[in-house]
Amino acid sequence: MHLVTRADWGAKPSRFPLTHIASTRGVKVHYEGAAVPADLAKPANHTRCAGRVRQIQADHLANRKENYSDIAYSYVVCPHGHVFEGRGLHKLQAANGNHQLNLNHYSVCGMVGNSGLTDPTDAQLGGIRDAIDLLREKGGAGTEIKGHRDGFATQCPGDPLQEWVQRGAPRPGHAPSPPPPTGTKVSLSHVITAARTDPAAAQGHTTFPADVKPVEAALVAEGLLDPSFGDDGSFGSRTVDAYAAFQRRQGLSGANADGIPGKTTLTVLGSQHGFTVAA
């Protein structure tokens, strides 16, 4: 992850203290909504990106109608995949349209527009996922990834980014795993047994593959499990690590984030990815 802190890009101080938030449902994806020069994506032009973020902040601070305290977004991602810290972690952002929508989700803006540079680069999509993962790991963001237009009348984030969001916001080169068939049931006891048995077994060992595979597919879709391990039916050490990361996203820590599924977190994962949990 190429993180550019506020100090690094030369942010001005906030006009007013920013409101602390503990968590959100997830993240909404945005674009600039104005023309972005098509040549900005050239590698040599990355030197212009910090200045562009400074200009976004200046425009927002000058907008007395909205009375912004700071740049509105949680993070801004340039075409070269660098993640510029906006308001950052645990700060109420101001880009989603109204106060309740701002409480519901963080915001990540891709530096693309409605003309010129309109299609995000692969590096940029990877950077947006980096920002989302950071907000989940460190900022209490839930699993939802939506476009700004979801629940608000706007063209943002533009059709290319919205289409990517609707595909599950996959990292470039990682095709999203198909969701389990409707009506799929996963046995909690089987998954727990697999998580405790498979890591110590021989490579490729599977205990309850029919129950494990929907969980693996969901963890791949969450960006936590490499797709190459996402359909083997084995709840091995990589899957345990991925599930532990999901538990941490749900606010758990220590022994409660050990990678062994519990009913609450498995139910949350299933509700987002098409399976239900049985005993």
pLDDT averages per 10-residue partition of the chain, 279 residues: 96 96 95 95 95 97 94 97 97 96 97 96 96 94 92 95 91 65 87 95 89 92 80 92 91 92 94 89
- Which residue is associated with the tokens 């973020």? 53
Q: Are strands 75-77 and 82-85 parallel, antiparallel or unpaired?
A: antiparallel
- 162 and 259 housed in the same domain: no
Residue 178 in any domain: the answer is: no
Residue 177 in any domain: the answer is: no
H-helix or E-strand containing 107?
strand 105-110
For residue 187, the tally of other CB atoms under 10 A from its CB is: 15
pLDDT at 177: 53
pTM exceeds cut of 0.75: no
Q: How far is residue 146's CA from residue 156's CA, in Å, rounded to a whole number?
A: 11
pLDDT at 178: 57
pLDDT at 239: 95
H-helix or E-strand containing 272?
helix 263-273
- Residue 32 CB contacts under 8 Å (≥ 6 apart), including other chains: 56, 109, 111, 112, 113
Give me the helices (H) in 63-121, please.
Answer: 99-104
Q: What residues make up the domain containing 235?
A: 184-278
Q: How far is residue 67's CA from residue 219's CA, in Å, rounded to a whole number?
A: 40
- 148 and 42 housed in the same domain: yes
Q: How far is residue 166's CA from residue 170's CA, in Å, rounded to a whole number?
A: 10
Residue 172 in any domain: the answer is: no
- 226 and 269 housed in the same domain: yes
Q: How far is residue 141's CA from residue 152's CA, in Å, rounded to a whole number?
A: 20
Residue 25 in any domain: the answer is: yes
pLDDT at 158: 96
pLDDT at 216: 93
- 160 and 250 housed in the same domain: no
pLDDT at 53: 97
Domain containing residue 103: CATH number: 3.40.80.10
Domain end call among 116, 140, 166: 166
Q: How many domains, the chain?
A: 2
- 14 and 118 housed in the same domain: yes
Residue 174 in any domain: the answer is: no
